[in-house]
Structures are given as structure tokens and as C-alpha cells.
Structure 1
Amino acid sequence: MSRTRLLTAALAVTLLAAGACSRADRGTDSASAPAQDKGPAAELRLGYFPNVTHAAALIGLEKGLFGKELGNTKLTPTKFNAGPEEVAALLGGSLDAGFIGSGPAINAYAKSNGAAVRLISGATSGGAQLVVRSDITKPEDLAGKTVVTPQLGNTQDVSLKKWLGDKGLTEKVQVTNLENAQTLDAFKKGDVQAAWLPEPWSSRLVLEAGATVLVDEKELWPGGKFPTTVLIVRTAYLKDHPQTVQALLRGLVASIDFAGASKTEAQAAVNKQLKELTGKELSGPVTERAWANIELTLDPAAGQFPQLAKDAVTAGVAKEAASVAGFADLSALNTVLKQLGKSEVDPSGLDKK
């Protein structure tokens, strides 16, 4: 082989090695991989809860608004009782997207080192309260009492423990976890004295079991707004099927618009779904009270997520505050909103690493 050919071969090897090093430096994180649009998905597996705080999801399912937008993509809805179960399904790959509380959403992002999921929209603000036995009138009265949340590490669990820490009551109160329906029964029997719950369960304890409100979580956040329910999606699914994600978001926009245009019909749709999912519909007074405590919104209040991550540490459910930089990807939502002539949603810097 001539010297010229040797030099050419050596240069080629060097360039290949440099390219390989460059790729290695970038890593294999799916979040940094190039987009690879594979067209509409064959199926969308969607998680949600049978709670009024998931009203937008329930309306979309009951009125067929998601299915209408998804077209030939099969919609497979899956009910969950609390966020940690849904996180396991998302990280395990058996779920593609899910309506979920802010706490578990952060946990899913942190557990995967920022790779597995993205926050793509808000759904509900408000709708969580600490309700107590009538003789408990101030925080100090909770000392020696049992307080319930839906599940260890869920959004209300973090909120309660953060609040107890701020009040110096962490070591004085017994916190336990029960499914919401079991909490209602236990409160009626006197086995528990307080519970931090999402709607409609806080309203049910007030109207059906004689509880009173000690803390409305709205009082703890600027402007009374906090992300009770958001919509997250697997990062790989978002990259592979952006058209399907946009279709899901169009369905969500339609659901929230439907609720705004007809409260009565929206409440009826939610109640019908709840009856199918739990075997029981809500009474008129419970529905009205729960509805008054929530706001259906596409805005996930992204700017509050760094504080929510810190709250998990104060609550003792995380050793250090999770980094939420880059968690939000509202580009699909804002594309849909722009197409519909609506105002875009601000990611508040949460879209940047």
C-alpha cells in the first residue's frame, strides 16, 4: 500500500473514532436523542384516577372527546387509585401517558434521571383539603391523632407532611395511608381523626361524615393556584408519536372547553364515569362543593415545581430535592393552542436543562 493510501486510511479511522467519541459524550439519554416521528401510534394507554380532580380526563372519556381526536389510534384507559402506582406503570412501559398528581410526576422524572417522562400539560388546580373532626380547631389539636393520606409519597401525602413539618408536628402526629373510600368509612367509625384528601373525598367527609376544614391547600400557594393534576407522557412516546400526543391534547382542550361551556353537563359526565368506576355516583351537594374547589386548566403552574421538589425533602419522602430542569415540554400543547387561536402556556423555564 502506498504512503498516500496509508495516510488516507489512518485519517478515516481517526475521523470514525472522533465521531464515536462525540456520540459517547452526548450519551444515550432518550431525552437528548434526535426526534424520530413514526406517525400516529396504534394505541395510546392512558392513566387517570376516579376523582373529581381528574374531571378533565373523566369528561374526555365519557363524551368521547379523546377518541374523536385520536381517530384510528386505539385508546386504552386505565384507572389508578394513587400516583405511585401510575408511576410504576409509566416507568415499566405499560402506560404511555397519565393524568397524575404533581408529586408522583416529579418522582417519575427523578427516578429516571430526567429521561423517562415529560410534563406536557396541566389539568386541575386546587381541590385538596385537610379535613378534621369537629373538635380539632387548630394545628396543635392534631397532636396524638391519626391523619390519613391516599398513599405514601402521593401529592397529598407530601403536602400534609410538609405542612406538619412547618408546624413542628412531624413527631406528634401519626400519618397513615388508606384508599379514599376506606378513609371515609374509618372517619365515620372514629378510627381516624383527620385526612388530607383530594376532591371529591374531602367534600364527602365534610358532607357525609361531619368533618370540618382545617386547611384548604389553596391558602398555602401564591394566588391560590397549585398543580393538583397534570398530564405527563413517556419521553419516547412523545418523540415517536408527536401527532398522537397532539391529538390527546386537543381532546383535553375540548374537555376543558366543554366544562366551561356547560357545568351541569360536565358534572353529569363526571358523575357517570365515577359511577361506572366506583359503583356509586356523587350526591348533588358533594358534586357542587367539589366542583367549586377545583379549576380545570391547561396551565401546569410549571414555576412551582422547584418548590414542590423541595417540599418532598421537607416532608421526608425524598433525601434531596429532585432536579426538575427540563421536565416540561409544552411545545405540543402550545402548537395545539396556537392552531386553535388560544393563548400559549408559559413553561416558566422548566423546559430548560
Structure 2
Amino acid sequence: MNNIRTATTITTLGLVAVMMAGCASASADPGGTAEPASELRLGYFANVTHAPALVGLEEGLFEEALGDVDVTTQVFNAGPAAIEALSAGAIDATYIGPNPSINTFIQSGGESARIVAGAATGGAALVVREGIDDLADLEGTTLATPQLGNTQDVSLRTWLADQGFETDTSGGGDVQITPTDNAQTLTLFQQGELDGAWLPEPWVSRLIEDAGAHVLVDEAELWEDGAFPTTVLLVRAEFLDQHPDAVADLLEGHRAAVQWIADNPEDAPDVINGAIEAETGKPLADAVIVRALEHVTFSVDPHAETFETLVENGIQAGTQKEGSIEGLFDLRLLNELLESDGAETVSAGGLGED
């Protein structure tokens, strides 16, 4: 993979990026005049829920699909930090959770970015310490999420509100929510400083296997058929407008990675774990990677039908403002690829082009 370079992990936190409007046109047109791209800057997390990115890079699938276009990468810890980079034009595309994608679209008046594919569903849960076995035990506890306004943060705040608990974005209320870097969450939980956390994989499994936590709420239980989007592929609208061929090639590599995971169940844990080790300096325990992969489904379908509910959840959680998400999806390039292979196309759910 000679033309893939990895940048230093970005750990910038905060919601500043969510307030930044992109400078792209409001309606990206993959069928418009294409300009050749020499580079595609891709963001992702060193998480199991971002396995298509990890596999696509490790197996050279992006490099093969993109040809002469160099792929450079930046690794993030949570969605709002990735949005900051995308909004600033520092990256062109990123694997990310749905709620930060919604936030940047609404905050920019629909000009910042487009979801061009799904990546993963499932793989998020509320895990807690021994002694917390039901709702009543959560009163007065301190729980962590990866970052204020990220997908798991919104899920936790929404679920707690539905159960009658009050929270606020400054850490007050019946249950204190403390946005914390995932690695630090594990350490603090082991030290007894946190009572639990709503996290994506592999961190759910790490707290269970490495720190004795147990699942209080599996988010899959809260959605019809257990299908809720955890990771999507988001592209800066200006880049999509200017370089539709590069985005189409990125999607080809992305789909190949999703298919590789499905076709190689025995090899996938080692490849994904190797990529995580390369980024974090330490591999996951075998029990962690195996458990984590059992709770995640990889698919190019972004499950657009869930996004109106996600908007309502973000508003209820107090982490986003009201606004329309019509136009958030542009699945035309993906569906062209699927149709050419005789595969079933995916729907934008009336929220964009498909």
C-alpha cells in the first residue's frame, strides 16, 4: 500500500465543528463535470464499528479501487472531531456515526456533506458496574460517552429521558453524563471513577472482558429488528461535486471491504485487530474482538429510514438544533455500483437522491 499514508491521531474534542458551515454547493451532482483528484483524505476511528475502513486499508482495497489517487488517512476518537476536520476542509470523507452527520448537515443549511453509504449497524450498548441491575440503580450515577453530541451520547441521553431521568449537557441532573475519551473511560471504570458508559464496539466488549462490566441496555433492543446505524460514510459535498469519479472509486473500495468481511469470517478478526493495534499500539484480546464482531453487522445500507427518529433524539438530548435533513443522502453512485453488479439497491428514505 505504497500510496497510503497515515496521519497522527486527532483527539480534538468539542462541538465547534458542528457549528461550522461547509462551503460546498447545496446539491452535489455526481453526474456533473468531473475533475481529476490526486488525493483523497479519509477519516475513520480505530473501532470495530469502522471495520470496513480498517479492512479497506489493510487489504489494499481502497488503493486498488482508487488507482492513481493517493489515500491519506486521519484517525479520530469521536464524531464531532471528525466533523471539525471535514468542515474545515482538512479531510474529504470520513467514516462516522449518524448523529454528527445530521448535525453538520443541519448546521450548514444542507451544504456541508452527504451520506453516500452505510457501513455498520449495531454494536453499541450501555455497560455498567456490578451492583447496577435495573433502572432504579442508575439514580446518582456517573456515566460516560465518547463525546458530547456523538451518536452514543445522544442515544444515552434519549434513553435516560425516556426512563424519566433528567440530564443536561453540563453534567448535571439525576444521572451525570461525562463525555470521555474511550480509552480513558476504560481506565476510569477500572479505577471505580465511573459507574458505566454507553459505547461502541470494541469498547463495550473491552469493559466487559477487561473490567468486569455487564450490559444493562443493548441498543439493538431499542430498534425494530435490531437495525440501527452505527457508522456511515460521509463525504464533503464540495468534494463530491468536484470529484464524483474519486467518490465512486472510494465506494467501490468500501463495498469490497464490506464484502471481504462477509467472505472471510475466520480471517477478519485478525485483520481488524491488526489494524487496531497499528493505530493504538495494542491489540484487543481474542475474547474482545470475537465478542465485538458478534454484535456488529456490516452493510452498505445506511438505514435512512431511521434518521428522522435520530433527529428527534438529538433535539431531545439537547445536542442539536431543529432543521431539515432532506438532501442528506446521495446514494446514486452507490446504487449505480450495486446495479452494475446485479445487487439490490438501497433507499434514501425520501431524504435525498437514490
User: Do both proteins adopt the same fold according to a TM-score greater than 0.5, normalized to the shorter chain?
Assistant: yes
CA distance in 2, matches of 1:36, 1:337: 20
CA distance in 2, matches of 1:123, 1:306: 19
Alignment of 1:151-230 (within 5 A): 151-170=147-166, 171-230=173-232
* CA contact 2:28–2:240 (8 Å) conserved in 1: no
- Which residue in the other structure is 2:9 paired with? none
* CA contact 2:34–2:245 (8 Å) conserved in 1: no
**CA shift digits 1:184-236 (9 cap, x unpaired):** 11101100001000000010101111101000000111110011000010111
Alignment of 1:111-122 (within 5 A): 111-122=107-118
- Which residue in the other structure is 1:124 paired with? 120
Q: Secondary structure of the residue that 1:239 maps to in structure 2?
A: helix
CA distance in 2, matches of 1:319, 1:98: 22
- Which residue in the other structure is 2:4 paired with? none
* CA contact 2:331–2:348 (8 Å) conserved in 1: yes
**CA shift digits 1:2-38 (9 cap, x unpaired):** xxxxxxxxxxxxxxxxxxxxxxxxxx97124766423
Structure 1 residue 162 displacement after superposition = 0.3
CA distance in 2, matches of 1:273, 1:250: 20
Task: Give 2:63's aligned amino acid.
Answer: G
**CA shift digits 1:144-172 (9 cap, x unpaired):** 11000011111000000001111111221
* CA contact 1:187–1:193 (8 Å) conserved in 2: yes
Task: Give 1:37's aligned amino acid.
Answer: T
**Pick from 130, 139, 144: which aligns with 1:134?**
130
Alignment of 1:1-353 (within 5 A): 30-32=25-27, 36-170=32-166, 171-320=173-322, 322-351=323-352
Structure 1 residue 45 displacement after superposition = 0.4
Q: Secondary structure of the residue that 1:38 maps to in structure 2?
A: coil
Number of equivalent positions: 324
Q: Secondary structure of the residue that 1:75 maps to in structure 2?
A: strand
Structure 1 unpaired stretches of 5+: 1-27
Range with greater deviation from structure 2 (52-61 or 339-348): 339-348
What is the percentage of aligned positions where both structures have the same residue?
48
CA distance in 2, matches of 1:349, 1:319: 21
CA distance in 2, matches of 1:29, 1:180: 32
Q: Secondary structure of the residue that 2:266 maps to in structure 1?
A: helix
* CA contact 1:150–1:157 (8 Å) conserved in 2: yes
RMSD: 1.3
TM-score of the two chains, using structure 1 as the length reference: 0.89
Structure 1 residue 269 displacement after superposition = 1.2
Task: Give 1:304's aligned amino acid.
Answer: T
CA distance in 2, matches of 1:340, 1:91: 33
CA distance in 1, matches of 2:270, 2:257: 13
Range with greater deviation from structure 2 (232-241 or 211-220): 232-241
Task: Give 2:218's aligned amino acid.
Answer: D
From the superposition, tell whether residues 323 and 274 of structure 1 become closer, same or farther in structure 2 (CA, over 3 Å).
same
From the superposition, tell whether residues 74 and 112 of structure 1 become closer, same or farther in structure 2 (CA, over 3 Å).
same
CA distance in 2, matches of 1:256, 1:152: 29
Which structure features the higher share of helix residues? 1
CA distance in 2, matches of 1:114, 1:164: 30
Structure 1 residue 314 displacement after superposition = 1.1
* CA contact 2:24–2:238 (8 Å) conserved in 1: no
Structure 2 unpaired stretches of 5+: 1-22, 167-172
Task: Give 2:75's aligned amino acid.
Answer: K
Task: Give 1:201's aligned amino acid.
Answer: W
Q: Secondary structure of the residue that 2:187 maps to in structure 1?
A: helix
* CA contact 1:306–1:323 (8 Å) conserved in 2: no
Q: Secondary structure of the residue that 2:154 maps to in structure 1?
A: helix
From the superposition, tell whether residues 29 and 206 of structure 1 become closer, same or farther in structure 2 (CA, over 3 Å).
closer
- Max Rg structure: 1
